[in-house]
Amino acid sequence: MRDLTFEAYTEPFLEDVRRTYNYFVEHTTVSFDMNPYSPEQIKQLIEPLAEMYRSYVVKLDGQYAGYALLTQHKKRPAFNVTAEVTIYLEPSFTGQGIGREAITFIESVARELNFHSLVATICTENESSMALFRKLGYEQVACYKEIAYKFDRWLDLASFQKILI
C-alpha cells in the first residue's frame, strides 16, 4: 500500500520544486514560461501571497513527488472567493493517480478556507490534465486561442472551473 502525503511547503523543498517546474518549462508546454526559474523566482511562485492561500509538497512513500498550490486567481478583492489550483508532479510520478488525489486534497483545503470557486488554466496540448479536471467535475468555461507561442508553435489555453459551495 502506498503512502501519499501532503506537507506544507517549507524552504528545504525549494530546489525540488525548482527542478520540477524547470523541467516543464524546458521540455513541455505545460508551463508558458520560456526560461528556467532561479531560486528567487521559485520562492515567489511557491510561497503563498497571503494567509488565505496554501502551498504543499506531495510525497509518495516519504519521497518528494511534486507540489500542489492554492493561489490567488486575480488581485482585486472581489476575487478573494476564488483560488487557482496548480499541480506539478515529477515526470516519474505522473500517471499513477497522484494528480487526482492532489486535486481532491486541494479541494478539501479550499472548502475549509471557504473558497466558493476553483479555477485551473491548462494548455490544450496537456490533454491528460484536461481529462483529469473534467473527471473531477471541473467545467471548461473558456478557451483562449493562440494566446501563447512556444517551441515554434501557437498554443491555446483552456480555463476550467468548479463551484465548491
Residue 34 resides in a domain: yes
Task: Decide if 132 is inside a domain.
Answer: no
CA angle 23/27/29 to nearest 5° reads 105
Which domain range does residue 80 map to? 4-120
In a domain, 145, yes or no: no
Residue 45 falls within a domain, yes or no? yes
pLDDT tens column, 37-47 = 999 999 999 98
Q: Is residue 39 part of a domain?
A: yes
Chain segment 44-61, per-residue pLDDT in tens: 999 887 888 999 999 999
Q: The CATH number of the domain where 59 resides is what? A: 3.40.630.30
| Residue 51 contacts residue 57 (beta carbons within 8 Å) | no
pTM of the model: 0.94
Number of domains forming the structure of the chain: 1
- 104: enclosing H helix or E strand: helix 98-112
Q: Which of 15, 80, 21, 78 is nearest to 53 (CA)?
A: 80
102 domain-assigned:
yes
Give the residue from 47, 83, 86 showing the smallest Cα distance to 69.
86
Q: Is 16 within a domain?
A: yes
